[in-house]
Amino acid sequence: MDIFNIAKSEDGLSPAEIERSLEQALEGRTLRNVLILPPDFTRFHSNAGFITQALYRMLTARGVNVDVLPALGTHVPVSAEQWGAMFGDIPYGKMIVHHWRTDVVKIGEVPREAVEEISGGLWHTPLAVEVNRLVMDPKYDLVVSPGQVVPHEVIGMANHAKNLFVGVGGSQMINCSHMIGAVCGMEQAMGRDHTPVRRLFDYGLEHFLADRPILFCLTVTTAPGGKIRTHGLFIGEGRNCLTEAVKLAQQKNIDYVEHGLKKCVVYLDPGEFTSTWLGNKAIYRTRMAMADEGELIILAPGVRHFGEDETVDRLIRKYGYRGRLHTLEVFEKPESQDLRDNMGAAAHLIHGSSDGRFTITYCVKNITKAEVEGVGFRAADYDEMAAKYDPAKLAYGYNTVDGEEVYFIPNPALGLWINRERFS
């Protein structure tokens, strides 16, 4: 049994209870250098910030050198302001920035036969397994990977090996895993364990990282009113901690609606969502709840661009969110080499569309309506729509606005919404 500690609380674990679990996981270890891989600010509500602070204090008090490498994936680096809000008094200078295109080393390969079997014959090329070279640095006696298990559009349930192979992974693994998830179908994955992409990551962990001292600290959280509640903390070095965390996350982070939503309003906190790359969680997490010909309204006061870097931003502007079949058709054209070179972006375009089943309206302040419409969404003025659908006044769940039923979600990152009538 590879689980060191499981702590659960319906009302949320206290800081002292979390610290006790972490101390127990560190007992008996002789450590000189430790690498922590927390999520970035887009996972603020994971409570991984507190866990990272607690570990940093415990370890440095023992004279251990601690380095912090946020699992950025393709995101922009954590700003000083975000760092202070999430990681408290850990010096900003302790942050090491992960560069997903250049800072990685190939540690193995998932063979073609395994990829074909896992993908059901939908993908036919081997998959390079890459991680940041620091993960493989023998000077680190322990690599700690804290983060939240929560529904995810690519892998089904986020975290565990995903934090390694995407969070501090390389371009081929990020691009191919996202594309495999897209072609296998998001609706068949979200909220589930043992999905195709999860199985690929399990393969990589078992075959190529089994000799590295990697400790997972997995949380299951909710954040009613913006206040984090950690309902479970699962600490272990193998797969079992994830298996147990998924069970609790399925209880805490999946909300079933009794019928398809005709109108859904989602609010994107401007401190957390500055791009559609991040903000499209409003689409990923609700599409299984939306009714045919329904309307999804996204209140996005902080969205300033589409991609998290210039290359991806350009690709989104060029190809747009125009549906799975259209994107796959364009993907195969000879002139679309730039899209094939960035398969993660292609997968994102597929995930960020309703496939014409319902409409998506982005309500913005910092980019033009023409830009929003240019990538395939409807556009509306944020102030006008926020006056009608005031996020400060709407309650989570069902509301009535001008005699119309409206379902309101204050933060799409914390859950998954599913129409019970369609889910099996």
- 242-299 pLDDT, tens per residue? 999 999 999 999 999 989 999 999 999 998 899 999 999 999 999 999 999 999 999 9
3-252 belongs to which CATH class?
Answer: alpha beta
At 185, the pLDDT band (50, 70, 90 cuts) reads confident
Domain boundaries, the chain: 3-252, 255-419
Q: How far is CA 75 from CA 70, 79, 98, 126, 166, in A?
A: 10, 12, 9, 25, 11
| DSSP per-residue string spanning 192-259 | -SS-HHHHHHHHHHHHHSTTS-EEEEEEEEE-GGG--EEEEEEEESSSHHHHHHHHHHHHHSEEEESS
* Rounded Cα distance, 409 and 257, in Å: 12
What pLDDT was estimated at residue 75?
87
Q: Note the pLDDT tens digit of each residue in 401-420.
A: 999 999 999 999 888 999 98
What pLDDT was estimated at residue 2?
64
Q: Which of 3.30.530.80, 3.30.360.10, 3.90.226.30, 1.10.3470.10 is the CATH number of 255-419?
A: 3.90.226.30
Query: How close are the terminal C-alpha atoms of the chain, in Å?
Result: 31
Entry field: residues in the chain? 424
CA-nearest of 230, 78, 45 to 167 is: 78
**3-252 and 255-419 agree in CATH topology:** no
For 96, phi then psi, to 5°, come to -110, 130
* Rounded Cα distance, 155 and 194, in Å: 9
Q: Note the pLDDT tens digit of each residue in 345-367.
A: 999 999 999 999 999 999 999 99
Q: How far is CA 45 from CA 20, 226, 286, 394, in A?
A: 20, 8, 19, 21
Q: Pairing relation of β-strands 397-401 and 254-257?
A: unpaired
Contact call for residues 136 and 27 (beta carbons, < 8 A): no
What pLDDT was estimated at residue 1?
45
Tell me which residue has tokens 């997903």.
Answer: 100
User: Is residue 159 pLDDT above 70, yes or no?
Assistant: yes
CA angle 12, 54, 66 (to 5 degrees): 145
